[in-house]
Structure 1
Amino acid sequence: MNAFVLNRHGRMVFPSNIMPELDFSTMETLEQLDSVIRRDFETKAPSGTEILERVRTGAYETRYDLMRDLALNLFWANRFSITMYDKRPTRWADVPRNRTDVFLPVLQPWEDGEAKVTGVEEAFPGLPARWNEGCEDRIFDILFDVFANRRHHATTLPAVKPTVAEFLEQPGNLTFRLPRYDPDFPVYDYTDILDVSEDVPELEALHRWAMVLHNQYPWERSKVELAEAGDLRDDDYVVAFHPRDKEVRAFLRRLRAGAEPQHVAGPRESRPPVRPYPELDVRRRFSVQPRIEALAAVHGDQVCSNDDLIRNTAYNWSPMSADEIASKTGIEQREYSSLPLEELALRAAESALDKAGRQPEEIGGVLVCTCTSSRLIPSLATYLCGQLGMHQVYAAYDIIAACAGMPYGVADAVRMLQEVERPVLVVCVEKFSDKIGNIRTSRMIFGDGAAALVVGPAADGTDGDIEFMKTYASGPASEVNSILWPNPEFDNNITVFGPQVKALAGRYLAQMIDELGKLPAPEGRDGSLMDAIDLIVPHQANKTMVIQLAERAGLTADQLYFNIERVGNTSSASIPLAIHDAVRDGVITEPLRVFAPGFGAGAVAGYAVMRVDPAVVAVQRPGEQGTGAAQPDMPAQPERAPASEEMQTAFG
Structure 2
Amino acid sequence: MQPFVVNQHGRLVFPSNFLPDLDFSVIDSEEQLDSVIRRDFETKAPKGSDILQRARDGKYASRGDLMRDIALNLFWVNRFAMTMYDKQPMRWKDVPRNRSDIFLPIVAPWDDKDAKVTAVAEAYASLPPTWDAESEDKVWKLLFNAYSHRTFDATTLPSVKPTIAEALAEPAQLTFTLADYDPDYTFFGYEEILDVDNAVPELEALQRWSMVLHNEYPWKGDSVRLTPVGELSDDDIVVLYLPRNRDVVRFVSKMKAAGADGVQDARVRTAELSKGIDAVDPISPYPPVNVHEAFAIKPKIEALAVVKGEYVCTNDDLIRNSAYSWSPMSADEISTKTGIEQRRYTARELEEISLDAAKAALAHAGRRPEEIGAVLFCSCTSARMMPSTATWITGQLGLQQTHCSVDLIAACAGLPYGLAEAVRLLQEVNRPVLLVCGEKFSDKIGTVRPSRMIFGDGAAALVIAPAPEGESGDFDLLQTYAGGPVTQVNSIIWPNPSFDNNITVYGPEVKSLAGRYLAQMIEELSNLPDTTGRAETAWDTVELVVPHQANKTMVIDLAKRAGLSADKLYFNIETMGNTSSASIPIAIADAVADKVIDRPMWIFAPGFGAGSVAGYSVMRIDPAIVAPSPDEAVATDSDAPESTDEAVTKTSARNSTDDMALAFGV
Q: Report TM bin, short chain.
A: over 0.9
- 496, 505, 511: which is aligned to 1:496? 505
Alpha-carbon displacement from aligned partner over 1:446-497 (angstroms, at most 9, x marks no partner):
0000000000000122101011010000110100000000000000000000
- 272, 289, 292: which is aligned to 1:280? 289
Give the corresponding residue for 1:183.
Answer: 183
TM-score using structure 2 length: 0.93
- What aligned pairs does 1:61-210 form with structure 2 within 5 A after superposition? 61-210=61-210
Change in CA separation of 1:97 and 1:292 when aligned onto 2, cut-off 3 Å:
same
Give the aligned residue type for 1:584: A
CA RMSD of aligned residues (A): 1.1
Secondary structure in structure 2 of the residue aligned to 1:61: coil
Change in CA separation of 1:526 and 1:369 when aligned onto 2, cut-off 3 Å:
closer
Secondary structure in structure 2 of the residue aligned to 1:527: coil
- 501, 517, 540: which is aligned to 2:549? 540
**Contact between 1:71 and 1:143, CA under 8 Å: does it hold in 2?**
yes
TM-score using structure 1 length: 0.95
Mapped to 1, the partners of 2:564 and 2:252 lie a distance apart of: 56
Alpha-carbon displacement from aligned partner over 1:323-359 (angstroms, at most 9, x marks no partner):
0000000000000012110101100000000000000
Secondary structure in structure 2 of the residue aligned to 1:606: strand
Give the aligned residue type for 1:323: D
Mapped to 2, the partners of 1:457 and 1:85 lie a distance apart of: 61
Mapped to 2, the partners of 1:455 and 1:198 lie a distance apart of: 49
- Report the alpha carbon displacement of residue 523 of structure 1 after superposing the two structures with TM: 3.8
- Report the alpha carbon displacement of residue 525 of structure 1 after superposing the two structures with TM: 4.1
**Contact between 1:584 and 1:621, CA under 8 Å: does it hold in 2?**
no
Mapped to 2, the partners of 1:103 and 1:424 lie a distance apart of: 60
Change in CA separation of 1:624 and 1:140 when aligned onto 2, cut-off 3 Å:
closer
The alignment status of 1:412 with 2:416, answered yes or no, reads no
- Report the alpha carbon displacement of residue 422 of structure 1 after superposing the two structures with TM: 0.5
Give the corresponding residue for 2:241.
Answer: 241
- Report the alpha carbon displacement of residue 230 of structure 1 after superposing the two structures with TM: 2.4
**Contact between 2:479 and 2:615, CA under 8 Å: does it hold in 1?**
yes
Give the corresponding residue for 2:251.
Answer: 251
Give the corresponding residue for 1:514.
Answer: 523
Larger deviation, residues 565-574 vs 512-521: 512-521
Secondary structure in structure 2 of the residue aligned to 1:577: helix
**Contact between 1:281 and 1:469, CA under 8 Å: does it hold in 2?**
yes
**Contact between 1:381 and 1:396, CA under 8 Å: does it hold in 2?**
yes
Secondary structure in structure 2 of the residue aligned to 1:524: coil
- 320, 327, 332: which is aligned to 1:323? 332
Give the corresponding residue for 1:266.
Answer: 273
Give the aligned residue type for 1:437: G
Secondary structure in structure 2 of the residue aligned to 1:349: helix
**Contact between 1:584 and 1:620, CA under 8 Å: does it hold in 2?**
no
Alpha-carbon displacement from aligned partner over 1:188-224 (angstroms, at most 9, x marks no partner):
0000000000110000001000000000011111111
The alignment status of 1:505 with 2:511, answered yes or no, reads no
Number of corresponding residues = 625
Alpha-carbon displacement from aligned partner over 1:382-409 (angstroms, at most 9, x marks no partner):
0000000000000000000000000000
Task: Name structure 1 gaps, 5 residues minimum.
Answer: 626-652
The alignment status of 1:214 with 2:214, answered yes or no, reads yes
Give the corresponding residue for 1:640.
Answer: none
Give the aligned residue type for 2:9: H
Mapped to 2, the partners of 1:624 and 1:117 lie a distance apart of: 47
Alpha-carbon displacement from aligned partner over 1:73-108 (angstroms, at most 9, x marks no partner):
000000000101110001010111111111111111
**Contact between 1:171 and 1:230, CA under 8 Å: does it hold in 2?**
yes
- 594, 602, 620: which is aligned to 2:603? 594
Mapped to 2, the partners of 1:210 and 1:506 lie a distance apart of: 43
Give the corresponding residue for 1:616.
Answer: 625
Larger deviation, residues 527-536 vs 369-378: 527-536
**Contact between 1:522 and 1:532, CA under 8 Å: does it hold in 2?**
no
Secondary structure in structure 2 of the residue aligned to 1:454: strand
Larger deviation, residues 166-175 vs 84-93: 166-175
Mapped to 2, the partners of 1:81 and 1:339 lie a distance apart of: 33
Change in CA separation of 1:275 and 1:166 when aligned onto 2, cut-off 3 Å:
same
Mapped to 2, the partners of 1:88 and 1:558 lie a distance apart of: 64
Secondary structure in structure 2 of the residue aligned to 1:96: coil
The alignment status of 1:558 with 2:567, answered yes or no, reads yes
Secondary structure in structure 1 of the residue aligned to 2:160: coil
Give the corresponding residue for 1:637.
Answer: none
Give the corresponding residue for 2:307.
Answer: 298
Give the corresponding residue for 2:540.
Answer: 531
Secondary structure in structure 1 of the residue aligned to 2:120: helix
Give the corresponding residue for 2:651.
Answer: none
Secondary structure in structure 2 of the residue aligned to 1:494: strand
Alpha-carbon displacement from aligned partner over 1:152-189 (angstroms, at most 9, x marks no partner):
11102111111111111222111111123211111000
Alpha-carbon displacement from aligned partner over 1:216-255 (angstroms, at most 9, x marks no partner):
0111111111111122111110001111100000111211
Give the aligned residue type for 1:506: G
Secondary structure in structure 2 of the residue aligned to 1:293: strand
Give the corresponding residue for 1:30.
Answer: 30
Give the corresponding residue for 1:48.
Answer: 48
- Report the alpha carbon displacement of residue 521 of structure 1 after superposing the two structures with TM: 3.2
Task: Name structure 2 gaps, 5 residues minimum.
Answer: 635-666
Give the corresponding residue for 1:646.
Answer: none
**Contact between 1:580 and 1:619, CA under 8 Å: does it hold in 2?**
no
Mapped to 2, the partners of 1:379 and 1:33 lie a distance apart of: 34
- Report the alpha carbon displacement of residue 280 of structure 1 after superposing the two structures with TM: 0.5
Secondary structure in structure 2 of the residue aligned to 1:475: coil
Mapped to 2, the partners of 1:136 and 1:220 lie a distance apart of: 22
The alignment status of 1:313 with 2:322, answered yes or no, reads yes
Larger deviation, residues 225-234 vs 73-82: 225-234
Mapped to 2, the partners of 1:350 and 1:248 lie a distance apart of: 44
Change in CA separation of 1:526 and 1:298 when aligned onto 2, cut-off 3 Å:
closer
Mapped to 2, the partners of 1:458 and 1:377 lie a distance apart of: 34
Mapped to 2, the partners of 1:15 and 1:173 lie a distance apart of: 36
- What aligned pairs does 1:316-395 form with structure 2 within 5 A after superposition? 316-395=325-404
- Report the alpha carbon displacement of residue 526 of structure 1 after superposing the two structures with TM: 4.3
Give the aligned residue type for 1:185: Y
Mapped to 2, the partners of 1:236 and 1:129 lie a distance apart of: 42
The alignment status of 1:480 with 2:489, answered yes or no, reads yes
Mapped to 2, the partners of 1:171 and 1:459 lie a distance apart of: 88
- Report the alpha carbon displacement of residue 266 of structure 1 after superposing the two structures with TM: 2.2
- Report the alpha carbon displacement of residue 261 of structure 1 after superposing the two structures with TM: 4.3
- Report the alpha carbon displacement of residue 281 of structure 1 after superposing the two structures with TM: 0.5
**Contact between 1:334 and 1:566, CA under 8 Å: does it hold in 2?**
yes
Alpha-carbon displacement from aligned partner over 1:613-647 (angstroms, at most 9, x marks no partner):
0011103132289xxxxxxxxxxxxxxxxxxxxxx
Mapped to 2, the partners of 1:444 and 1:102 lie a distance apart of: 40
Mapped to 2, the partners of 1:140 and 1:57 lie a distance apart of: 21
Mapped to 2, the partners of 1:230 and 1:576 lie a distance apart of: 69
Q: Structure 1 runs of 4+ off > 6 angstroms?
A: none
Give the corresponding residue for 1:650.
Answer: none
Q: Percent identity?
A: 60
Give the aligned residue type for 2:238: V
**Contact between 2:310 and 2:633, CA under 8 Å: does it hold in 1?**
no
Give the aligned residue type for 2:55: V
Give the aligned residue type for 1:429: G
**Contact between 1:584 and 1:619, CA under 8 Å: does it hold in 2?**
no
Give the aligned residue type for 2:279: S
**Contact between 2:309 and 2:633, CA under 8 Å: does it hold in 1?**
no
The alignment status of 1:447 with 2:446, answered yes or no, reads no
Mapped to 2, the partners of 1:169 and 1:250 lie a distance apart of: 23
Mapped to 2, the partners of 1:13 and 1:553 lie a distance apart of: 40
**Contact between 2:32 and 2:265, CA under 8 Å: does it hold in 1?**
no
